[in-house]
Amino acid sequence: MSGEFHPPARILMGPGPSNVDPRVLMAMAKPLVGHLDPEFFKIMSSLQDLLRYIFSTKNVQTLPISGTGSAGMEAAFVNVVEPGDRVLVCVNGVFGERMADVAERCGANLRTLSAPWGKAFDLAAVEKELRNFQPKVLAIVHAETSTGVLQPLEEFPKILKNHPDTLLLVDAVTSLGGHPVKVDEWGVDICYSGTQKCLSCPPGLAPITFSQKAMEKTKGRAKKVQSLYLDMIMLGKYWGSERTYHHTAPISMNYALLEALRIVSEEGLERRYERHRRNHLALVAGIEAMGLSMFAEKSYRLWSLNTVSIPAGIDDAKVRKTLLEEYNLEIGGGLGNLKGKIWRVGLMGHSSSETNVLYFLTALEQTLRAQGFEVPRGAGATAAKEFYSRK
């Protein structure tokens, strides 16, 4: 390969990465400074302030982990779970399963609570398991990207008030920046996310926040955190006032995240959530008008990740291939048990737009028609258009 490299400019409507505002790409092309340069320290402080705003928290220990969302997940568990600690993980999809795997690797005394894929957890079931098992950590996914389900967390402080020693650990990878995530109000002790979903930044960093209580558990460990790279105490010395070298921060990724977060704050969280909600509802109106149905239970649907059941007789892989090759459009297939059964359509951050909704519905209609699936002509886009004009 020689000459300049030109990747295609795809429309990214899968489970992430989402499309990135050109301002974010430009930020990555800016000159490097050193990771101990006073100018970089200013960038770090701004980043932390913006992350606190988006997580709705006052937690001092709020920073981007160098690594993708999975590194955020590892950092969350590896710091607070000591061998033998009781850990309760709620599993209703692939990312809950992954949390359980990570907890097990930390030597946890693991118990899982399951709910059907496509449904959220019932508060009473979680409370019962909390009482029976008295875990040190309760872990749950806020936005299950494998099923399209949003787990309401508003009521969690109620069930946790009788368990002052339990830490609430939440995966907000697909919700942060698209759905409200209220770390302090919901009593979340550890919350992590990723940059390439609703924050619309390339993959590479994992915003994370630890409460005072979570930091106390980390500091009170009998043995050091087994991961040097993800040790929150050491990271806190670099991201806190000491500014001690820990690892070379990925400078350009941090520039990108700063710009992405500035875009979020310019839009304002409430307006941003409303945009995500509206585009999701328009998409659902279009999907249903085409005679298709949504997979996730109606009252618990994510705005950022829409799961559509694949109709009988339709070739999943062929549809996605056609969308990519003929329409330059990426959507996701099902993961785990849901492979071949659902499509995952992301409306995250920059990708959550009216034009994307209309374009996707039109492209899907053409693609399904080519496979012999009867769709009233223009039904999906018409229904979405009507939805937008009503509101």
The residue ranges that bind ligand PLP (CB under 6 A) are 16, 68-70, 73, 95, 141, 143, 145, 171, 173-174, 194, 203
Residue among 170 and 232 whose Cβ is closer to ligand PLP:
170
Return the number of the residue (140 or 284) whose C-beta is nearest ligand PLP: 140
Closer of 66 and 322 to ligand PLP (Cβ) = 66
Nearer to ligand PLP, 194 or 334 (CB): 194
Taking the complex as a whole, how short is the minimal distance between the CB of residue 196 and ligand PLP, in angstroms? Answer: 6
In this complex, which beta carbon is closest to ligand PLP, that of residue 197 or of residue 385? 197
65 vs 384, which CB is nearer to ligand PLP?
65
Q: Tell the smallest beta-carbon distance from residue 206 to ligand PLP (Å).
A: 7
Q: Contact at 8 Å (CB) between 234 and 246?
A: yes
Residue with tokens 């494998």: 146
- CB of 47 or CB of 206, closer to ligand PLP: 206
* Closest CB to ligand PLP: residue number: 69
CB of 172 to ligand PLP, least distance (A): 8
Shortest Å distance, C-beta 148 to ligand PLP: 11
Least distance to ligand PLP from the beta carbon of 31, Å? 27
To the nearest whole angstrom, how small is the minimum distance from the Cβ of residue 137 to ligand PLP?
16
C-beta of 254: minimal distance to ligand PLP in Å?
16
